[in-house]
């Protein structure tokens, strides 16, 4: 087993704990916000909170697994016999990444038929993207990481195309007060998701041992906070503005 410094161990633990607290707080924020939006957007807020709730659960488990995988004695960290369960991340993404696209589609308020077809297509692509990434994450060789990571990029690029081209007409049909935010939400999705392969390939370009572990763990954590909690705040703001636009009353404030 690689050795890791106490500072690195501690930084990673605190990043996990921070993310648990952020995701749990975000969940409550979204579910409270549910009562502040029109009926048409309540399901979007439910799903937005589910994504962060699922992430909070996994970050709680990840931080537990991190502690159990190490023995700390007088500032020296050694590996325990248990090993760290990195698969929690992929299990989380397999559930939450399709749901993130569903949030976006739900808050856009497309026709019922379009909602179903786009949610199914984008959801399956997202699940495929995560599923193809996992064999690369656990691959022993850099070539394995490049192969599966490369395959995983195909559904990713397809999703990017669907978001920018497939949804462009629907974006233009959003009420003016929400249109800019919807565009921002699409950009946040693409840019924050593009951050995952950067972290993923950090393990394939020569970064090794405890430095790679720290970059990968802290990097994924930051990406998760942006892609789930910050993205969710945008979804809430879109839902509030569209609720106001639907009610036909311009807010005076």
Residues that bind a copy of itself (CB under 8 A): 10, 13-14, 17-18, 21-22, 24-25, 28-29, 31-36, 39-40, 42-43, 46-47, 49-50, 53-54, 57-58, 61, 72-75, 81-83, 85, 87-88, 91-92, 94-95, 109-112, 251, 253
d(CA 131, CA 57): 20
Give the shortest CB-86-to-a copy of itself separation in angstroms.
10
Give the shortest CB-72-to-a copy of itself separation in angstroms.
6
Token output for 135: 């064999």
Nearer to a copy of itself, 29 or 146 (CB): 29
Give the shortest CB-160-to-a copy of itself separation in angstroms.
26
Give which of 87, 182, 166, 183 is closest to 125, Cα–Cα: 166
Give which of 203, 127, 195 is closest to 158, Cα–Cα: 127
Nearer to a copy of itself, 31 or 164 (CB): 31
Given a contact cutoff of 8 angstroms between Cβ atoms, the answer to whether 116 and 172 are in contact is no
Nearer to a copy of itself, 35 or 206 (CB): 35
Given a contact cutoff of 8 angstroms between Cβ atoms, the answer to whether 174 and 242 are in contact is yes
Tokens 């969940």 correspond to what residue? 27
Nearer to a copy of itself, 92 or 224 (CB): 92
Give the shortest CB-161-to-a copy of itself separation in angstroms.
25
Nearer to a copy of itself, 28 or 124 (CB): 28
Alpha helix positions (H), 38-165: 42-68, 87-108, 112-137, 142-161
Give which of 236, 167, 226, 164 is closest to 195, Cα–Cα: 226
Give the shortest CB-36-to-a copy of itself separation in angstroms.
6
């Amino acid at each position: 087993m690689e050795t890791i410094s106490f500072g690195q161990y501690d930084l990673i633990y605190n990043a996990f704990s921070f993310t648990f607290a952020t995701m749990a707080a975000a969940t409550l924020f979204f579910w409270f916000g549910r009562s502040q939006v029109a009926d048409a957007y309540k399901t979007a807020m439910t799903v937005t909170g589910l994504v962060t709730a699922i992430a909070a659960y996994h970050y709680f488990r990840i931080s537990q697994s991190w502690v159990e995988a190490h023995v700390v004695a007088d500032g020296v960290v050694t590996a325990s016999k248990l090993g760290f369960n990195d698969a929690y991340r992929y299990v989380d993404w397999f559930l939450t990444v399709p749901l993130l696209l569903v949030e976006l589609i739900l808050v856009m308020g497309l026709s019922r038929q379009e909602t179903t077809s786009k949610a199914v297509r984008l959801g399956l692509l997202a699940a495929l993207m995560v599923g193809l990434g996992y064999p690369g994450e656990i691959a022993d060789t850099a070539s394995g990481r490049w192969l599966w990571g490369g395959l995983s990029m195909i559904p990713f690029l397809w999703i990017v195309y669907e978001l920018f081209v497939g949804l462009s007409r629907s974006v233009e049909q959003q009420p003016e007060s929400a249109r800019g935010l919807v565009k921002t939400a699409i950009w946040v999705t693409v840019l924050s998701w593009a951050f995952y392969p950067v972290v993923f390939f950090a393990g394939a370009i020569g970064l090794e041992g405890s430095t790679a572990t720290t970059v990968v763990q802290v990097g994924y954590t930051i990406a998760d906070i942006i892609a789930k909690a910050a993205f969710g705040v945008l979804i809430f703001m879109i839902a509030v503005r569209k609720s106001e636009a639907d009610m036909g009353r311009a807010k005076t404030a």
